[in-house]
Structure 1
Amino acid sequence: MNIFRSLCRRLSPAARDETGLTLIEILVAMTIFAIISVGVALGVTASLVNVRDAQDRETAVNLAASQIDLVRSVDDIFTVNDLPQSKTIVVGGVTFRVDRKTNWVTNSSTTAACGADAGGNTLRYKRVNVSVSWDGMRNTDVPAMADTILAPNSRINDPTKGTILVHVIGANGSGMPGVAVNAVPTTGVSGNTAAALTVTPAATDVQGCSYILKVTPGTYDVTISKSGYISSDQSLNSATTTVGVVAGASASAGFQFDNAGLFTTNFAVNAPASPPVLLPSNLDVSYLNSYGIYVAKATTGVAKLHPFADGYTMLAGKYVDPTLPSGGCASVDPLAWPSTVVAGVTYAGQRPAPVAAAPGAAPPAAARVPMGVVTVALDVTKGKSLNAVSQATAPGTGDPGCAVGVTYSFTLTTTGNYTIALPYGSWKLYQATTTTGTTNQVGTSGMTPVNTKVVLTGSNVITFDPRGPVS
């Protein structure tokens, strides 16, 4: 307080003399002035920002209202859908972004994608929400918003007819536009009252929706199609589901359909480059992921698969769920083999790394799938077809078993040594003149394992064991 009294005395007319102010007093005065100036500047700035934000919000509200007026003027409300991306509008040097979301409301007052639900409700009206945000908005969580509901200009629900609501989504769960839609009466259904459509349904809109109105009650096959696209059950170019249409109600047909991922697989990657390994001509490959199991014939080219985000684990051979009542085939899955401990070292099977691809694209690298590899001496005079027959069990080998009988065939050309690859599990080898023959069994005494753990048992059974040291 003494310094402030001293400063006041110095500044008063009576106290003025030629001694002036000390440096400390000048610094204190400048500090006080700076504090007051900063406070005033901040207040003015905040006021200007609030004024500008209020002006921008008023502009945003007007833009939202104008967008609502536009959708209200549309004759066909089926054409009013979500905006595929934000619409930008520049007003007074400020960029505003307009977004629109729509949902059908059914007679149960519920909303769902395309109005589809399992309750068989009918479409009543469409709810439209418009939100507008802008650059520099103070509260980014509170855009300007406007809502409305749109009622059809004409009756879309006929009490004597039904409606089919088609919804197509991509691998990421978003609507898939531009997919062709059709529906035909299901054949082979006794007493089916369905009738051929008189108008071709529209392709799916930006939300992945298509609406088949005033459909004669009965059972229909609803098909979607688009070249190069594939469904979640691996149906390429088109997919079909069957729905029942009831008078005065709606039926839902939902699909997951997207541009196919382009997968390649390298088999028997544990085999050396030379001599070249021979693969079965009819080898299966199993694609595993959290959505299920898909088995197809192996190809050295590109396999088109649904682009699930978590990708696929590829296994050589035909994997069948071992929990099925009829029994399965788990031998081809390294993870199904029980771990063992030998001399303090744990041996266990490990699946190949999963591989994922974006829609319409290839993964960064091909899938790498190891197999059982062995070199065997063969005499083509005993047959030019080498057939490997899977064994249901192989006691003492650790093989989890394969209750599903599988035969893989190799084509032989000359007498000599062949390095062949087979899925993990237990096999008997035969030479014959056909791809199914079991005329001449091949003994295991002349077989040489190649980078593979092999167990040779009685009756000339060879077991390819995928387990390796993990600790």
Structure 2
Amino acid sequence: MSIHRLRRRLSLLGRDDSGLTLIEILVAMTIFGIVSVGIAAGVTASLVNVRDSRDRETALNLAASQIDLVRSVTDVFAVNDTPTATNVVVGGVTFHISRTTNWEPFSGGDGDCGSNSAGSTLQYKRVKVTVTWDGMRNTAVPAVADTLLAPNSRINDPTKGTILVHVFGPDGTDRSGIAVNAVPTPGVTGNTAAALTVTPANTDVQGCSYILKVTPGTYDVTVTKPGYIADDNKTLGSATKTVGVAQGTSASAAFQFDNAGLYSSTLAVNAAPTPGILVPTNLDLSYLSTFGNYIRPYTASAVSLHPYGDGYTVLAGKYVDSITSSQICPALDPEAWPDKLVGSTTYSGHRPIPVTAQPGQAAPVPAQVTMGVITVVLNKANGAYINAVSQSAATASGNPGCPVTMNYTFGSKVTGSSQSVTLALPWGTWKLYQGGSSTATTNQIGNSGMTPSTGTTIVKESSNAVTFDPRVAS
């Protein structure tokens, strides 16, 4: 091959424009992107793991430091739950530190303020510190440290006992700052209890107070705070329970005790507005709740009651006998009356809507109390006083009956020789009387002159009794 031909061939090869195609370039870029994303994800995960490990190590150190702090406290009763978490910022990260405590009886098992069914005495206090932080990878696994605190001196004398007091509200949360005391129960034959020599501390943030080294015997334990009332609604400002203390064990006294709610009532709301409706001067109101029923005399002022979250249904009359709580008066309850069919219309009884109040506050609206209302014509010659006596179940009226006898008076109201008065009474069957005193039943009022108010149904029974029927068209 001549030099000339070789030169020409090399010149043609040098001018060749062939190279990578667009598809090849796109494929290469895609592969590079996938690899880059994987590398970036791995680097990011590694950084997150490093940061989380660093934060967890910090959290564990914070928990351990809190454990060291509580171990330095000389009085184990001063170490309690923290109501809210404490926030600490370390390295730009906010950590949340909380502490929970509980007594550990020797036989094991936790209870309110360290109590358990076995009546074991207090031995050690368990302290648990939990730390969480912002940006945790696994929020279900906080940093935790715990310890057991042993008292510096003996809590329990083996020849004596302990009273554990727990105070909480209707929502189950603890109540702090409640004064506590205990005295030997009077009237107990052979009671060996002795007066306390040290005043117990107020309840702590866990609602607990501890009465230590108590002489065995029977004690009345009382909690006190102005304006508070227990769930039995007995005494405003205090509540008492009786416990027996045995040698070498603990006794528990738990109180549901909270700032009383205030409940007012509007009477005879179902009747047409009538000026001068008379209600008994000694009328009872029954406050029904899911936890019990309570009787209070009606007054124009608000009534202080335990602030149950479900509230109270208020009925006129004595629904529960104040002496025998198992004896009730169903006639006062509209829902206790069976439905009745008149033509194509069903008549049913309905309870008033329950009213609720927050602790220490008044209910936003008064209880709407329904009653039977009638107008009667009276003669002063039969006496100036108007009195009413409840009757047992009436005949064929659907009245569910009332074994509780109620005697209500309207006072001295008859002033004219012939006078009409409008009276409001609880549901059920009644006999009305005139007489010379607030208890007189000398002259029975005939039902021939009785006229029901709009919104009230009455049934005139034999013997001049009258039944107030709460059922209305559904």
TM-score (structure 1 length as normaliser): 0.91
Name the CA distance, whole Å, in 1 between partners of 2:79 and 2:327.
Answer: 52
Change (3 A) 1:375 1:184: same
8 Å Cα contact 1:116-1:252 kept in structure 2: yes
Unmatched runs of 5 consecutive residues or more in structure 1: 1-13
Name the CA distance, whole Å, in 1 between partners of 2:78 and 2:450.
Answer: 69
Name the CA distance, whole Å, in 2 between partners of 1:37 and 1:362.
Answer: 67
Q: Where does residue 180 of structure 2 map in the other structure?
A: 181
Name the CA distance, whole Å, in 2 between partners of 1:244 and 1:332.
Answer: 40
Change (3 A) 1:278 1:34: farther
Quote how far apart the aligned CAs of 1:39 are.
3.3
8 Å Cα contact 1:386-1:431 kept in structure 2: yes
8 Å Cα contact 1:265-1:369 kept in structure 2: yes
Bigger shift: residues 384-393 or 24-33: 24-33
Quote how far apart the aligned CAs of 1:123 are.
0.8
Question: Residue 428 in 1 paired to residue 431 in 2?
Answer: yes
8 Å Cα contact 1:104-1:114 kept in structure 2: yes
Change (3 A) 1:372 1:247: same
Question: Residue 414 in 1 paired to residue 418 in 2?
Answer: no
- Aligned with 1:463 (options 448, 451, 467): 467
| Equivalent AA in structure 2 for residue 458 of structure 1 | S
Change (3 A) 1:354 1:326: closer
Name the CA distance, whole Å, in 2 between partners of 1:104 and 1:427.
Answer: 59
Change (3 A) 1:185 1:33: same
Larger of the two Rg values belongs to structure: 2
Change (3 A) 1:31 1:181: same
Does the residue aligned with 1:58 lie in a helix, a strand or coil? helix
Q: Where does residue 256 of structure 1 map in the other structure?
A: 256
Bigger shift: residues 115-124 or 67-76: 115-124
| Equivalent AA in structure 2 for residue 462 of structure 1 | V
8 Å Cα contact 1:271-1:277 kept in structure 2: no
Listed one character per residue, the Cα deviations across residues 247-287 of structure 1 (whole Å, up to 9, x for unaligned) are: 21111111110011121221211123332422111111111
Quote how far apart the aligned CAs of 1:185 are.
1.2
- Aligned with 1:438 (options 441, 444, 454): 441
Q: Where does residue 398 of structure 1 map in the other structure?
A: 398
Change (3 A) 1:374 1:80: same
Quote how far apart the aligned CAs of 1:391 are.
0.1
| Equivalent AA in structure 2 for residue 61 of structure 1 | L
Quote how far apart the aligned CAs of 1:33 are.
4.6
Using the aligned pairs only, state the percent identity.
61
| Equivalent AA in structure 1 for residue 154 of structure 2 | R
Q: Where does residue 3 of structure 1 map in the other structure?
A: none
| Equivalent AA in structure 1 for residue 303 of structure 2 | A
Does the residue aligned with 2:341 lie in a helix, a strand or coil? strand
Change (3 A) 1:442 1:189: same
Quote how far apart the aligned CAs of 1:311 are.
1.3
Does the residue aligned with 1:119 lie in a helix, a strand or coil? coil
Change (3 A) 1:421 1:32: farther
Q: Where does residue 223 of structure 2 map in the other structure?
A: 224
8 Å Cα contact 2:320-2:326 kept in structure 1: no
Name the CA distance, whole Å, in 1 between partners of 2:231 and 2:55.
Answer: 46
Quote how far apart the aligned CAs of 1:364 are.
3.1
Listed one character per residue, the Cα deviations across residues 314-358 of structure 1 (whole Å, up to 9, x for unaligned) are: 11111138xx89853111011111112222332221111112222
Change (3 A) 1:154 1:276: same
Name the CA distance, whole Å, in 2 between partners of 1:257 and 1:428.
Answer: 41
Name the CA distance, whole Å, in 2 between partners of 1:86 and 1:176.
Answer: 18
Q: Where does residue 270 of structure 1 map in the other structure?
A: 270
Q: Where does residue 294 of structure 1 map in the other structure?
A: 294
| Equivalent AA in structure 2 for residue 239 of structure 1 | A
Does the residue aligned with 1:331 lie in a helix, a strand or coil? helix
Name the CA distance, whole Å, in 2 between partners of 1:69 and 1:15.
Answer: 83
1:192-203 equivalent positions in 2, closer than 5 A: 192-203=191-202
Q: Where does residue 353 of structure 2 map in the other structure?
A: 353
- How many pairs align? 454
Quote how far apart the aligned CAs of 1:44 are.
2.5
Q: Where does residue 71 of structure 2 map in the other structure?
A: 72
Quote how far apart the aligned CAs of 1:405 are.
0.7
Listed one character per residue, the Cα deviations across residues 125-157 of structure 1 (whole Å, up to 9, x for unaligned) are: 111111111111111111110111111111111
Quote how far apart the aligned CAs of 1:372 are.
0.8
Listed one character per residue, the Cα deviations across residues 46-82 of structure 1 (whole Å, up to 9, x for unaligned) are: 2222221111111111111111111111111011111
Does the residue aligned with 2:63 lie in a helix, a strand or coil? helix
Does the residue aligned with 1:63 lie in a helix, a strand or coil? helix
Change (3 A) 1:46 1:366: farther
Unmatched runs of 5 consecutive residues or more in structure 2: 1-13
Q: CA RMSD in A?
A: 2.2
| Equivalent AA in structure 1 for residue 424 of structure 2 | A
8 Å Cα contact 2:231-2:256 kept in structure 1: yes
1:75-224 equivalent positions in 2, closer than 5 A: 75-224=74-223
Name the CA distance, whole Å, in 2 between partners of 1:389 and 1:250.
Answer: 51
Does the residue aligned with 1:42 lie in a helix, a strand or coil? helix
Change (3 A) 1:327 1:250: closer
Name the CA distance, whole Å, in 2 between partners of 1:152 and 1:379.
Answer: 80
8 Å Cα contact 2:379-2:414 kept in structure 1: no
1:239-388 equivalent positions in 2, closer than 5 A: 239-320=239-320, 327-388=327-388
8 Å Cα contact 1:320-1:330 kept in structure 2: no
| Equivalent AA in structure 1 for residue 439 of structure 2 | T
Does the residue aligned with 2:225 lie in a helix, a strand or coil? strand
